[in-house]
Amino acid sequence: MNKNLSLLALTGTLALGGFVGYGLNERSNAQVTPNSPTTVQTSVTNPSATTYDNGRARTEAEANTVQVVKQRQNGLVYISVTEGADNSAEAQMRRRLQDQYGFPIPEGGEARTGTGSGFFVNAAGDIITNNHVVEGASEITIRLHGSKRTYKAKVVGRAPDFDLALIRAEGLPAGAIQPIPLGDSAKLDVGLKAIAMGAPFGLDFSVSEGIISSLERTAPVGTRQVYQQVIQTDAAINPGNSGGPLLNSAGDLIGVNTQILTGGSGQSAGVGFAIPVNTVTKLLPQLQAAGGKVVQTPTLGVGFTDLSALSDEDRQKAKLPAAGALIQQVYPNSPAAAVGLKGGTGNSLSLNTPGQATDSVYTDGDIITAIDGQAITEGEDLRRLILGKRIGDSIKLTVQQGGKKRDVTVKLQAFTLPTDQ
């Protein structure tokens, strides 16, 4: 199999390497306070020119990059995973993930290996990486920067819906754990420096630099491919960078390298994406408490049609609003069923909207127009807002039916959709 996604391709596979990232509940107090670079006056061609880092860096920007890399390089971790035999549960899981992400799968019945990146997030030795790097692996080992010694690692928790995992290694020597402090992705600006570290194509300890290209991007993340906020950067990211850190000029973590827009080439085209550090901060406590299991995320338990994707003609014909989630089905025993949300049962509308997967929709179901006062402008808003909640949270849905509006309070629970859906 040799299939490439034409647009977004996760840069992580056993054959080529992995991406990954998320994690941290506590923000480290250790702040990078770069030492003032040594200034040396040159007297060769330009006596007034200044150099930095004992004359090796010609600009202040160079000196900053060098200093950040030196201070954070020992927080980087190289991850290797081994997949079991072809008939094992791990191998079947890996094949499913590789097929989903569009990467070639080696033939043969032998155990297969792959690589990815990760980094320490606290003094306890917790390591963040992508879920797709470690899911289905029968064995995980890590190496530290500058060392060939390997250490066995185990999964502490996985968050497949965010493509994040937390692992911990056994027997690390004292002083080997050097966590990377967490920044604040809410304080970023387009144009700020971005430094990516990892092992692209298995090349240990590679560094690339660029800028934050956009803070207005969403991309499908995790096993359910829910569109989530990501940081766009032009720092080169390639297979093997998965799970590696994206740093700012202070050496703080601002994101976890996770995807690239390949344009069909399977390699970096200057458009990479990272999961924001604030998502990592939010998820870390749940990953730490997972006990080796999966961090569950709530599901409302409905099937719906995105009204914003319908044509004006279709919406006007059915007297539907311009935006919202038109419920087609409510699954039994789901949180939605518990509060009496209704799916469609009749008034079927034949669609004239090009590109729609279904030929018709029911128009008499409830329409969710807002969650906690935040308008549903497109269908992905509903999935993203629900995903951002935790099990046990209560949310207020604004629901419209037959021209009348009402508010419904739903207590979110873990709910698995039927496998045939």
- Which active-site residues does the annotation give? 132, 163, 242
Of 165, 104, 156, 157, the closest CA to residue 129 belongs to 165
Tell me the DSSP string of 117-165: EEEE-STT-EEEE-HHHHTT-SEEEEEETT---EEEEEEEEEEGGGTEE
Run of H or E including 352: none
Q: Find the Cα–Cα–Cα–Cα dihedral 384, 133, 27, 383, rounded to 10°.
A: 0
CA distance 90 to 362: 41
CA distance 41 to 322: 65
Interstrand relation of 302-306 and 245-247 (parallel, antiparallel or unpaired)? unpaired
Q: Sort 392 into a burial class: Cβ within 10 Å, 0-12 / 13-18 / 19+.
A: exposed
List, in sequence order, the alpha helices (H) in 185-321.
277-288, 312-318
377 CB-near residues (< 8 Å, 6+ apart)? 308, 323
- Phi and psi angles of residue 144, each rounded to the nearest 5 degrees, phi first: -95, 160
Tell me the DSSP string of 73-111: GGGEEEEEEEE--TTSHHHHHHHHHHHHHT-----SSS-
HEC profile of 326-337: EEEEECCCCHHH
